[in-house]
């Protein structure tokens, strides 16, 4: 099981992990002959900075501060669209929010575990879930093309705190 849940839920050198994400992104841009502009980079950085999914208008605010100029919604949505296309970020449909993808390039299932308490979201790529979904689709004669899998509950920390306070 490919997972970043440890990463998300534990203290770590986050600056480093953002930097790694940007490096991966730049590599991918070279590969795909796409341009990593300042706006796009800033959005990617913001999404990585927060382990919580951010909405487009949260991004707009933070982007305006970061770049110190007015940013209109289309600018944000364009950057989001670009990053989504490259697989560098994901959209979490249940939240209308966006988050950095910890393993772009790799073919994975986009399964998210989202904490109802603190809002953190961990992505998990789980091969056997994918296989099972494929099998279920086959049985139903359904041609599977893409999927949205979002689990809601309590992350380890919040569950721990919740238990302690009982």
Partner DNA sequence: AAGTGTTACGTTATAATATAACATAAATAT
Partner DNA sequence: ATATTTATGTTATATTATAACGTAACACTT
Cα–Cα distance for residue pair 84/73, rounded to 1 Å: 16
DSSP assigned state of 92: E
Identify the residue among 6, 26, 57, 117 touching DNA (CB under 7 A): 57
- By CB under 8 A, is residue 137 in contact with a second copy? yes
- The C-alpha R_g of the chain, in whole angstroms, comes to 17
- By CB under 8 A, is residue 55 in contact with a second copy? no
Which positions ≥6 away from 110 have C-beta within 8 Å? 90, 123, 125, 147, 148, 149
The smaller minimum CB distance to DNA, of residues 57 and 160, is found at 57
Cα–Cα distance for residue pair 92/115, rounded to 1 Å: 13
Identify the residue among 21, 71, 114, 155 touching DNA (CB under 7 A): 71
Identify the residue among 20, 26, 67, 132 touching a second copy (CB under 8 A): 132
Question: By the 8 A CB rule, do 115 and 86 touch?
Answer: no
Identify the residue among 12, 32, 85, 142 touching a second copy (CB under 8 A): 142
Tell which positions 95-114 bind DNA, by CB under 7 A.
Answer: 96
Residue 48: CA count within 13 A, CB half-sphere:
24
Burial class (CB in 10 A: 0-12, 13-18, 19+), 62: buried
Residue 93: CA count within 13 A, CB half-sphere:
7
Window of 31-39, 44-52, 75-83, 131-139 that interacts with a second copy by CB under 8 A: 131-139
Window of 20-28, 72-80, 119-127, 141-149 that interacts with DNA by CB under 7 A: 72-80
Window of 21-29, 37-45, 75-83, 125-133 that interacts with a second copy by CB under 8 A: 125-133
- By CB under 8 A, is residue 97 in contact with a second copy? no
Chain contacts with DNA (rule: CB under 7 A): 34-35, 37-40, 55-57, 69-75, 77-79, 81-82, 91, 96
């Amino acid at each position: 099981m490919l997972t970043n849940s440890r990463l998300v839920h534990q203290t770590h050198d986050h600056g480093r992990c953002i930097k790694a994400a940007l490096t991966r992104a730049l590599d991918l841009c070279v590969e795909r002959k796409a341009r990593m502009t300042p706006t796009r980079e800033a959005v990617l950085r913001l999404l990585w900075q927060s382990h919580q999914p951010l909405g487009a208008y949260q991004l707009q605010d933070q982007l305006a501060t970061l770049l110190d100029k007015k940013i209109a919604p289309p600018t944000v949505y364009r950057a989001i669209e670009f990053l989504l296309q490259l697989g560098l970020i994901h959209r979490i449909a249940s939240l209308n929010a966006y988050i950095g993808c910890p393993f772009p390039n790799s073919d994975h299932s986009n399964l998210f575990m989202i904490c109802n308490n603190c809002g953190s979201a961990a992505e998990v790529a789980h091969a056997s879930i994918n296989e099972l979904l494929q099998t279920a689709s086959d049985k139903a004669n359904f041609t599977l093309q893409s999927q949205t899998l979002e689990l809601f509950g309590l992350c380890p920390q919040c569950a721990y705190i919740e238990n302690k306070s009982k």
